[in-house]
Structure 1
Amino acid sequence: MRICMDWSATTFDWNRARAFLVTAEEGSLSAAARALGLAQPTVGRQVEAFQDELGVVLFERAGHSLTLTPAGHALLDHARAMGEAAIGLSRVAYGQNDEIDGRVTIAASDAYAGILLPPILERLQAQEPRISVSIVVSNDAADLLRREADIAIRNFQPKEPDLIAKRLRTAHARFYASPDYVDALGEVTKPGELGSARFIGLDDTGLMLGMLQQLGFPITDDNIPLRTGNFLVMWALVKRGLGIGVLDDRIGDNDPDVVRVLPDMPPLEFPLFLVAHRDIHQSRRLRFVWDFLSVALR
C-alpha cells in the first residue's frame, strides 16, 4: 500500500522547531543564539513563528530567562527526538562517503593542539595529502554527537553509548621550570623543600592548589601569583622563568627551554583516549585518520 502525504497541508519548519529546542535547553534567547550561531532577533522570530504556527504559548519569561509552559514541556521530548533524528540522518549520510578526499575535524586541548599535534599532522599530510584537517582547540569535551568534531583526544573515557573510545596510553605529567629558575631554587630533592617556590596556576577554583598540597608541597595561595586557563600560556610563562608548571612529559621532556623539577618524583598519571562516534567505521577517511592518530599518539 502506498501512503501519500500532502505536504501542502502543513507549514512545519524544522528551523523553527530547532530554535524552540535549543532555547528550551539553553534557557534564554541569547544563549540559544550563541549555540546556533545566529543573531538573537533571528532566534526570537523563529520561536515566535513556531508558537504562532502551533497556536500555543511555549515560553514564559522569568527575569532574563525563559521557562517552559506546560505546552512547551509537552512538546520538548518530541522536539528532542526530531533533533536526534536529524543529527542521525546527517551522520549516516556523512559516513557513507567512501572517498579518502575531504576534511576531518580533530578536537584537542590547547597544549596537545599547539605542541603535540603539529609534527603528527605534518606526517599525516605527507602520507595522505588528500585529507585536510580542522582543529577544534578546547580544554572541554567537544560534542562529538553534534559533530563539533569527528575525532577527539581526551583524558577521560566518555559515557555516551554512541561514542567509542580507544585508550592509547597512560600519560605522565611532571613538573618543569626554566633552567635559570631551577638554579635559583637551589638543590631540592622533595616537595617539602619548595615552600617558597612560585607555581603557574591553571584554574581559579583551588583544585590545583589542593592537588599540590596533597602531594606534599607546603604552599599557599600566595605561591601561585600567576594563573591561566590556557596550557600554552602557562607553558610560555614557565619558559620565561616565572614559576613551575606541570605538563605531559612527552611535551616537557622534548622542550630544550625547560628542565624537570624534582626529576626523581613519581609522575602524575592520567589516561589518554581517542574518541569518536561509533559510525566512524563507515567512512574511509575518518578510519584512516583514526588509525594514524592511534599509532602516532601512543
Structure 2
Amino acid sequence: MNWDNTRYLLAIARTGSLRAAAASLGVDQATVARRLRTLEQELNIGLFTRHPEGYSLTAAGRLLVPEAEKMEAAAAAMGRKTIGLDTTLAGTVHIASTETLARCFLLPALRELRQSSPGITVTLSTAPALLDIKRGEADLAVRSARPTDGSLIIRRLATVRMGLYASAEYVSRHGLPVAGSAFAGHELVMFPRDVLPQYWQELCGEPLTNGNIVMETASQLLMIEAVRQGMGISMMAQEIVERCSPELVNVMPSRSDCADIWLVVNPDVWSAGRVRVVIEAIKDAFGSR
C-alpha cells in the first residue's frame, strides 16, 4: 500500500468531503478522488459510503483510520527528528504563544534574531487553543502554564510579578480600591471563568465578592485595551504593563502575586541549529540564562 495515499484517506475522514479534503491538502478535488479510488483498488475494499451530505467511513474504513494515524504520526516524527539533525541556521521555526507574550517579549527577540540570522523564518501562532507540541503542531511554545507531559523539554524562562491595574481616568472616577474590601464599588475586567477558573475566587489575594464584573475576554491584548479605556481593574503582569502600557496605575500595591513563564520544546527539534538560535534569542528577551 502506498503510504502517500493514506493521507487522502485521513483527510476525507476528517473533513467528510472531497472538496474540504482537497483544500486541507492543497490539491484539487480530482486528485483527491483519484487517490481514494487508487487506495480502494489497492486494498480491494470500499473505505467510504458516498451520500448527498458527503463521505462517511465504512466499517472497513473505520478499522483502518487508527492505523493510518499511526503511519501519519511516524512520518511526522521522522520529519521532526530530521530537523533535529540539521545544524544550519536557515529554515522555518514554528512558535506558539499568547498575544501579549508575543507582543512584549517575542517580537523584540525576533527583531534582533532577524539581524543576526536572516536565513531563519518564524511562524508565530497566538490562537487561544493550545497547539500540541508533542505532535509537532509547533516546534516550541512560550506559555504561562507548565505542561505535565514529561516527554517534552520544559524550562522556566521567567517569574513575572502580577498586580492590579487600572487607568488614571478610571481611578479619577472610582477612586482606589481598598485592600480587604473585596473590590466594593469597583468594576473588574476578567478572563472567562472556563479559561482561568482559579482567578474567579480572588485576584492577587483580594476576594472578588463585592466587585462588579463588567467584561470577560480571552484576549490579553483586548483586556489591556479595555483597562486603558477605563472599563475597570484587571490583574496583569507588571513586566507586560511596563512594556505595553506603562501609563496604567497599580491600584493596590499591597496586593501582588507571581506567575512563571515556561519554554516548551519538542525534543525531536531541540538540537536543530535554527531552533537553538531562536531559543537563545527568546531567553535573552526574558533575561533568562
TM-score range, shorter chain: 0.7 to 0.9
Deviates more, 1:35-44 or 1:73-82: 35-44
TM-score norm. by structure 2 comes to 0.79
Structure 2: which 5+ runs fail to align?
none
Name the SS for the 1:265 alignment partner: coil
Q: Is the 8 A contact 2:188 2:234 kept in 1?
A: yes
| Gap change, CA 1:206 and 1:86, over 3 Å in 2 | closer
2: CA distance between counterparts of 1:37 and 1:227? 37
Root-mean-square deviation (CA), in Å?
Answer: 3.5
More helix by share: 1
Aligned residues: 282
Q: Evaluate the alpha carbon distance shift between residue 261 and residue 236 of structure 1 in structure 2; reply closer, same or farther with a 3 A threshold.
A: same
Contact 1:32 1:43 in 2 (8 A): no
Match of 1:211 among 175, 199, 204: 199
Q: CA deviation at 1:196?
A: 2.8
Which residue identity lines up with residue 263 of structure 2 in the other structure? L
| Structure 1: tracts of 5 or more residues without a match | 1-9
How far did 1:200 drift? 2.1
* 2:246 equivalent to 1:256: yes
Amino acid at match of 2:120: I
1:173-207 superposed Cα distances (whole Å, 9 cap, x missing partner): 3221111112322242315252332222332x466
| Distance in 1 between residues matched to 2:86 and 2:18, nearest whole Å | 36
Cα 1:161–1:193 change in 2 (3 A) is: closer
2:85 maps to 1:96:
yes
| Cα shift readout 1:132-189 (whole Å, capped 9, x = no counterpart) | 3332222332233454322210123334455211122333332211111123222423
The aligned counterpart of 2:158 is 169
| 1:27-72 per-position Cα deviation (integer Å, ceiling 9, x unaligned) | 7449974993658957973556644543334356999797654423
Partner of 1:5: none
- Structure 1 length normalisation: TM-score? 0.77
Task: Report the residue type matching 1:113 in the other structure.
Answer: A
Shift of the alpha carbon at 1:243? 1.5
Match of 2:216 among 224, 227, 235: 227
Letter matched to residue 276 of structure 1: V
1:175–1:260 contact (8 Å) kept in structure 2: yes
Equivalent AA in structure 2 for residue 216 of structure 1: P
Inter-partner Cα distance in structure 2 for 1:116 and 1:48: 50
User: Which of 91, 94, 111 is the equivalent residue of 1:105?
Assistant: 94
User: Is 2:253 aligned against 1:266?
Assistant: no
Instruction: Provide the C-alpha distance between the structure 2 equivalents of 1:172 and 1:42, rounded to a whole number of angstroms.
Output: 56
1:36 correspondence with 2:27: no
Which range moves more in the overlay, 269-278 or 122-131?
A: 122-131
